[in-house]
Amino acid sequence: MSSGEKASSKKFTKAEKSWILYDVANSAFIMIVTATIPIYFRSLAEGSGMSGTSATSLWGSATSISILILALLSPVLGAIADYENMKKKIFTIFFVIAIAGGFLFTFAPGWLSFLIFFIISRIGYAACNIFYDAMLIDITTDERMDRVSTCGYAFGYIGSCIPFVAGLLLILNCDTIGLPMATATRISFVITMVWWIIMSIPLYKNVHQQYSLPHEPHVFAATFKRLGATFQKLAKDKRMLFFIIGYFCYIDGVYTIISMATTYGGEVGIDSNAMVLALLLTQFVAFPCSILSGTLAKKFGSMRMIKIFIVMYMAICLFGYGLDTELEFWILAVSVGICQGGIQALSRSYYGKIIPKDESSEYFGFFDVFGKFADFFGPLIISFCAYFFHNSKYGVLSLILLFAVGLILITLSEKQPTAAE
């Protein structure tokens, strides 16, 4: 199907639907990473005599290790994947690593083996996302990119709830059906892995690399040469440079709110069951709001919508600073759900429009680096502020500065000429 045919149809093409379904597939994994796996790891660690504080510290270290490894590998992997027919091949390697790691940590006998296999699986998951994001260029046109990207996030949010709720019901009713809680939790992990595999099949059948570079005789040498050239291009292209640094700032705030919400809620005295339910509510709210953000981006422009979401997140931080009741936590969850999918999806699609199509994996590798380091530094900022001010609320308030800097930089990026100009 030609680009013109893609653009002229209001319905999603088979390739677009298949690409969206992969978001449904892998979002289930990140749900258990957020809600279930940390609790299960803690029980394994404490069962071996480790203190709760040490278990939390180890978990944080494991997460940071996986993030840093991917941040270092992302540009190289992306650059290699841009060669002809390489994108899906490298995607498949890391997909197998992610799934195999998932099954291995599910049946790991102790906390150490669980942690090692979890890091492996998390690296596989995150690496797949580099190539998945880059496939957006191959399956749609610039005109449809906002809509397809936002629908990916939207259906990812709602789809991830299906295996998560199935697993959660199994865990909550394990006594009734005569299963040990540990066994019920492992089965919930298996449900997620099977869901991930099944929902990924359409992508393998219907998504194909359209833009690529010709193969070179010395791939690795050529790859590093290209990376050096890309750094130079980024330095010259002020529009892209300002955007990607601004993206780092505001997405840092977004990821920190996602990753620290339950920790912060627990600190201010919110019940753990209420927090899990609020997390589910965020997913359900994010579904229609992500789709709506794509529609609004078509009318007002994706950059304008990104700016609106940044301002809304600044208001969320102000509200979070004064948060101290369960009702306020629920209001916060709804507010985050309204903004979360839209700002992530529109950032992805806007970036996809301004990068070279035949180098999409390499450029999305850099995009992923900024996202990963944001995921790493955000919680660090919260911890830093909490340590010096003896109150995590000041950490939440400090995120406003990140959003403000991000807003200024992306506004400046619009006024910059591209390297070609």
Q: What is the CATH number of the domain that holds 262?
A: 1.20.1250.20
Q: Which residue in the block uniquely carries the two structure tokens 């600073």?
A: 321
Residue 4, in any domain of the structure: no
Residues 6+ apart with CB under 8 A from 146: 294, 297, 298, 302, 345, 346, 349, 350
What pLDDT, on the 0 to 100 scale, is given for residue 24?
93
| 357 assigned to some structural domain | yes
- Give the pLDDT confidence of 67-120 residue by residue, as tens digits: 778 877 887 887 888 888 888 999 999 999 999 999 999 999 899 999 999 999
What does the DSSP assignment read for 114-129? HHHHHHHHHHHHHHHH
Q: Which residues pair with 213 in a beta bridge?
A: 83
Dihedral over alpha carbons 296, 298, 303, 304 (to 10 degrees): -40
Low-confidence ranges of the chain (pLDDT < 70): 1-9, 52-53, 56-57, 218-220, 259-260, 262-264, 266-267, 272, 372-380, 382-383, 386-387, 390-392, 418-421
| 244 touches 370 (CB < 8 A) | yes
At 213 the three-state DSSP class reads strand
Q: What is the pTM of this model?
A: 0.80
User: Would you say residue 6 lies in a domain?
Assistant: no
Q: E strand or H helix at 263, and its extent?
A: helix 238-267
Looking at the 3D structure of the chain, how many domains does it have? 1
Distance between CA atoms of 359 and 244, rounded to whole angstroms? 16
Least Cα distance to 64 among 111, 129, 119 occurs for: 119
Specify whether the CB–CB gap between 301 and 356 falls below 8 A. no
Domain that holds residue 21: 13-414
Would you state the pLDDT for residue 15?
A: 95
The pLDDT score that the predictor gives to residue 266 is 66
pLDDT of residue 84: 82
Check: CB of residue 161 under 8 Å from CB of residue 283. Answer: yes
Residue 8 located in a structural domain = no
For residue 306, is it within any domain? yes
User: Do the domain assignments include residue 345?
Assistant: yes
CA distance 272 to 405: 33
Say if 328 falls within a structural domain.
yes
Q: Residue 312: what pLDDT?
A: 96
Asked if residue 3 is part of any domain, the answer here is: no
* Widest pairwise Cα distance in the chain: 68
Q: Residue 17 corresponds to which tokens in the numbers above?
A: 């639907």
What pLDDT, on the 0 to 100 scale, is given for residue 120? 94
**Side-chain-side CA neighbours of residue 31 (13 Å):** 35
Q: Are 195 and 22 in contact (CB under 8 A)?
A: no
Q: CA Rg, the chain, in Å?
A: 21
φ and ψ at 83, to 5 degrees?
Answer: -70, 155
